[in-house]
Amino acid sequence: MSGGGAWQGNIKARLYERVRERGFDSLTAFAEAHPAVPLHILADELGNDVAAVQLLSGLLYEAELNQKVTRFVRDVLVRELAEGLPNGWPSILNDSSRFEVAMALGRWSAYTPETHEERVRQVRDMLLASPPPAGWRPLGPDDELLRTLLPDEGA
């Protein structure tokens, strides 16, 4: 977890310095090299003075620049599902598993940019109304089901 140092100094410069030290030219390239890894773990890999929300913000910024916000939204869902449902989608939605699904989908919704809120709400409702196969665990933002639910801009 990041300490208080995460909010000191030039945050953006620190993020890019850390990913370049690891051989990447962007936050997106760094994140793509670590698919389905929760954001807080990625942030910790960059140092104890980097917060997950800072990484999330930088990734959204790059996604907006590259007109790949929908892919970013799918990527965040993959990371939230990996953290909240490490064994994949539950076979039965009982009280306990429904809570775990709701938490993962709720965090995803909270991290969604305004431009995609309605689409995310629709996808969330579809996943709950017609759940994916038991054990489904997308390994990246290009998962076939996710691309069906949230197709790229212009697709």
Instruction: Provide the pLDDT for residue 153.
Output: 74
Instruction: Provide the pLDDT for residue 4.
Output: 57
**Which residues of the chain are under the pLDDT cut of 70?**
1-9, 154-155
Task: Give the gyration radius of the chain's Cα atoms.
Answer: 16
Instruction: Provide the pLDDT for residue 129.
Output: 93
pLDDT tens for 62-99 read 999 999 999 999 999 999 999 999 999 999 989 999 99
Q: Reduced to 3 states, what is the DSSP secondary structure of residue 136?
A: coil
Angle of the 11-21 helix axis to the 39-46 helix axis, nearest 10: 80
Instruction: Provide the pLDDT for residue 154.
Output: 56
Tokens, residue 21: 């030290």
Q: How far is CA 58 from CA 35, 102, 129, 146, in A?
A: 16, 26, 33, 22
Instruction: Provide the pLDDT for residue 10.
Output: 73
The span from the CA of 7 to the CA of 10, in Å, is: 8
The span from the CA of 128 to the CA of 44, in Å, is: 32
Fill in the amino acid letter for 38: P
Sign of CA dihedral 110, 111, 114, 115: negative
